[in-house]
Structure 1
Amino acid sequence: MLKLNITSETAPLKAVVLGTAESNGGTPAYEDAYDPKSAEYIKAGTYPVEEDMVKEMEAVAAVFKKYDVQVFRPKVIEDYNQIFTRDIAFVIDDKFIKANILPDRDEEIEAINHVLEQIDPAKILTMPEDAHIEGGDVMPYQNYILVGTYKGDDYPNYITARTNMKAVKALQELFPQREVVSFSLRKSNTVARDNALHLDCCFQPVGKDKAIIYKGGFLIEEEYNWLVDLFGKENIFEITRDEMYDMNSNIFSISEDVVISEKNFTRLNAWLRAQGITVEEVPYAEISKQEGLLRCSTLPLIRE
C-alpha cells in the first residue's frame, strides 16, 4: 500500500505520477483548444509533436530515477492527451482528492487506477459535483492550503477558470485544521500572456522559504501582497509577463535543495543556484506550448 503524505511543495519526494505524451492524439482543432496558449500554436502551425514531447518527459523521468523517486505512469489511452496529471487529482496530507475537471477529460483518472488500487479507499475523496477544482490551483504551505480561484459571476464564460469558490469551501471542510487562503487569478480565453490558468502559473514556493511570483497573475493586489508578506520581499523572485508566459513559475521541486527546471529559464535558474539550490535542467519548451510545464505534469504522492 502507498502511504500518502504531502504537506509541502518542497519536502523530499518519494513517489510521483508523471504524465505521458505517448499516443497524444495529434494537433487538436483550433476551436477545441482548452487554453489560449495552445490555440496560438495550433493557429501558427507549431503545436508540439508527440515525438518531441515524449523525449522531454523521458528527460524528467531520468532525473527522478537519478534521485531514487518511485515513478508511476498512466496507462496509455489511444489518441488522448495525458501529459498533465496535476489537473486530475492532488494529495494533501494523507488524502487523495479527485479533481472535478473538464468533462472531456474524465478518462484520465481511470488511466491511473493501478495507482489508486494501492491507496486505502477511505483516503480517496471526490469533490462535490458543483465544486470545480484542478491540482494546479492547490498548494499546501506550512499550515495553509493556498488556492487559486476565480470569483467573478462570469466564471462559466471562462474555459480558463478551473477552480471555483465552492471548491475552496469544500477544502475548508475537508481540512479544518489548515487555513485555506484563496487568490483571484487573472483569466483570459484569448490572450495567453494575460491568463493565469492555475495558481502555479503565477506562483510557487521553492527551497526552504523562497517563492517565484508574477504580480500580474493576481486580480487583487492585497492578495498578491499577502503572499509577498508571507515570504518576505527578499525571498521572492519576481518574474516578468514573458517569463510567466514561458511558465517560469511552473518548475518542480524534488526537495528543498533540488529542482527540475526548463533549460531556457536562464535568469530563474541562475537565481535558484544563487540560493544554493541544485537545478536539474531539462528541455520542456514543446510541452510548455500547451500552457503547462513541470509542476503540471507531475502528481506527487509521497514526500518525506
Structure 2
Amino acid sequence: MLKLNVNNETSRLKAVVLGIAKSNGPVPKIEECYDPKSIEHVKAGTYPKEEDMILEMDAFAAILEKYGVKVYRPEVIKDCNQIFSRDIAFVIEDKIIRANILPNREEEIRAIDYIWNQIEPDKRIILPKECHAEGGDVMPWNDYIFVGTYSGDDYSDYITARTNMDAVIALQELFPDKMVKSFELRKSNADAKENALHLDCCFQPIGTNKAILHKNGFLIEREYQWLVDFFGKENIFEITKEEMYNMNSNVFSISETVIVSERNFTRLNTWLRQQGFTVEEVPYAEIAKQEGLLRCSTMPLIRD
C-alpha cells in the first residue's frame, strides 16, 4: 500500500505523479480548448507539438530522478491530453482527493487507477458532485490550506473557473485542524493575461517562508494583502503580468532548497539563486502554451 504524506509545497519530495505527453492527440479545435492561452496558440498556428512536449517532460523527469524521487506516470490514453496531472487529484496529509473536473476530462482520472488502488480505501476521498476543485487551486501550507476560488454568480459562464465555495467548505470539513483560506481569482475566458486559471498561476510558496506572487491575479486586494503580510514583503518575488502569462509562479519545489524552473525565467531564476536556492532549469516553454507549467504537471504523493 502507498502511504501518502503531503503537508506543504516544499518538504523533501519522495514520490510524485508526473503527467505524460505521449499520444496527446491532434491540435484541438477552439471550442475544445479549456483556457484562453491554448485558444490563442490554436488560432496562431503555434500550438505545441507532441514530440517537443515529450522532450520537455523527459527533461523534467530526469531532474526528479536525479534527486531520487520515485516518478509515477499515468497510463497512456490514446489522443488524450494527460500533461496536467495536478488537475485530476491532490494529496493533503495522508488522503488523496479526487478532483471533480471538467466532465470531458473524466478519463484522465482512470489513467491513475493503478495508483489510486494502492491507497487504503478510507484515504481515498471523492468529493460530492456539487464540489468543484482542481489541484492547481489547492495548496497545503502546514497549518493552512490555501484555495483559489471564484464565487461570482456567473461562475458557470467561466470555463476557467475550476474551484467553487462548496469545495472550500468540504475541505474545511475534511481537515478540521487546518485553516482553509480561500482567495477569489480573476477569471477571463478570452484574455490569458487577465486570467488566473488556478491559484498556482499567480501565487506559490517556496522555501520555508518565501513566495512568488502576482497582484492582478487576485480579485480582492485585501486577500492579496493578507498573503503579503503573511510572508512579509521582503520575502516575496512579485511577478509582472507578462511573467504571470508565461507562468513564472508555476515552478516546482523538490525540497526547501531545490526548485525546478523554466530556463527562460531569467529574472526569477536570478532572484532565487540570490536567495540561496539551487535552481534546476528545464525547457518547458512549449507546455506553457497550454496555460500550465511545472507545478501543473505534477501531483506529489509523498513529501518527508
State the TM-score, normalizing by the size of structure 1.
0.99
- 1:259 is aligned to 259
- Which whole-Å CA distance do the structure 2 matches of 1:208 and 1:180 have between them? 19
Instruction: Specify the SS of the correspondent of 1:187.
Output: coil
- Which whole-Å CA distance do the structure 1 matches of 2:68 and 2:36 have between them? 36
What are the residue-to-residue correspondences of 1:13-24 with 2, within 5 Å? 13-24=13-24
- 1:241 is aligned to 241
Superposed CA deviations along residues 151-176 of structure 1, whole A, max 9, x for unmatched, are 10000000000000000000010000
- Which whole-Å CA distance do the structure 1 matches of 2:62 and 2:104 have between them? 31
- Which whole-Å CA distance do the structure 1 matches of 2:37 and 2:81 have between them? 16
- 1:128 is aligned to 128
Structure 2 residue 168 is matched with structure 1 residue 186 = no
Instruction: Specify the SS of the correspondent of 2:180.
Output: strand
Give the total of aligned pairs: 304
Instruction: Specify the SS of the correspondent of 1:188.
Output: coil
Structure 2 residue 217 is matched with structure 1 residue 217 = yes
Tell me by how many angstroms 1:208 deviates.
1.5
- 1:270 is aligned to 270
Question: Structure 1: which amino acid aligns with 2:225?
Answer: N
- Which whole-Å CA distance do the structure 1 matches of 2:179 and 2:273 have between them? 32
- Which whole-Å CA distance do the structure 2 matches of 1:32 and 1:64 have between them? 32
Contact 1:16–1:70 (8 Å) recurs in 2: yes
Question: Structure 1: which amino acid aligns with 2:125?
Answer: L
- Which whole-Å CA distance do the structure 2 matches of 1:26 and 1:63 have between them? 28
- 2:33 is aligned to 33
Contact 1:149–1:164 (8 Å) recurs in 2: yes
CA RMSD in angstroms comes to 0.5
Question: Structure 2: which amino acid aligns with 1:108?
Answer: E
What are the residue-to-residue correspondences of 1:25-64 with 2, within 5 Å? 25-64=25-64
Question: Structure 2: which amino acid aligns with 1:244?
Answer: M
- 2:137 is aligned to 137
Tell me by how many angstroms 1:142 deviates.
2.3
Tell me by how many angstroms 1:30 deviates.
1.3
Superposed CA deviations along residues 37-66 of structure 1, whole A, max 9, x for unmatched, are 000000000000000000000000000110
Question: Structure 1: which amino acid aligns with 2:131?
Answer: A
- 1:172 is aligned to 172
- Which whole-Å CA distance do the structure 1 matches of 2:57 and 2:94 have between them? 27
Contact 1:85–1:297 (8 Å) recurs in 2: yes
Question: Structure 1: which amino acid aligns with 2:59?
Answer: A
- Which whole-Å CA distance do the structure 2 matches of 1:86 and 1:65 have between them? 19
Instruction: Specify the SS of the correspondent of 1:156.
Output: helix
Question: Structure 2: which amino acid aligns with 1:112?
Answer: I
Contact 1:26–1:49 (8 Å) recurs in 2: no
Question: Structure 1: which amino acid aligns with 2:54?
Answer: V
- Which whole-Å CA distance do the structure 2 matches of 1:74 and 1:122 have between them? 22
- 1:6 is aligned to 6
Instruction: Specify the SS of the correspondent of 1:106.
Output: helix
Tell me by how many angstroms 1:292 deviates.
0.1
Contact 1:25–1:78 (8 Å) recurs in 2: yes
Contact 1:17–1:73 (8 Å) recurs in 2: yes
- 1:69 is aligned to 69
- Which whole-Å CA distance do the structure 2 matches of 1:244 and 1:36 have between them? 14
Question: Structure 1: which 5+ runs fail to align?
Answer: none
- Which whole-Å CA distance do the structure 2 matches of 1:258 and 1:173 have between them? 33
Tell me by how many angstroms 1:252 deviates.
0.2
- 1:196 is aligned to 196
Tell me by how many angstroms 1:299 deviates.
0.3
- Which whole-Å CA distance do the structure 2 matches of 1:194 and 1:29 have between them? 22
- 1:284 is aligned to 284
Superposed CA deviations along residues 75-130 of structure 1, whole A, max 9, x for unmatched, are 00000000000000000000000000000000111101111121111100001101
- Which whole-Å CA distance do the structure 2 matches of 1:182 and 1:121 have between them? 28
State the TM-score, normalizing by the size of structure 2.
0.99
Instruction: Specify the SS of the correspondent of 2:14.
Output: strand
- 2:228 is aligned to 228
- Which whole-Å CA distance do the structure 1 matches of 2:184 and 2:298 have between them? 24
Instruction: Specify the SS of the correspondent of 2:6.
Output: coil
- 2:295 is aligned to 295
- Which whole-Å CA distance do the structure 1 matches of 2:15 and 2:32 have between them? 33
Instruction: Specify the SS of the correspondent of 1:279.
Output: strand
- 2:79 is aligned to 79
Question: Structure 2: which 5+ runs fail to align?
Answer: none
- 1:115 is aligned to 115
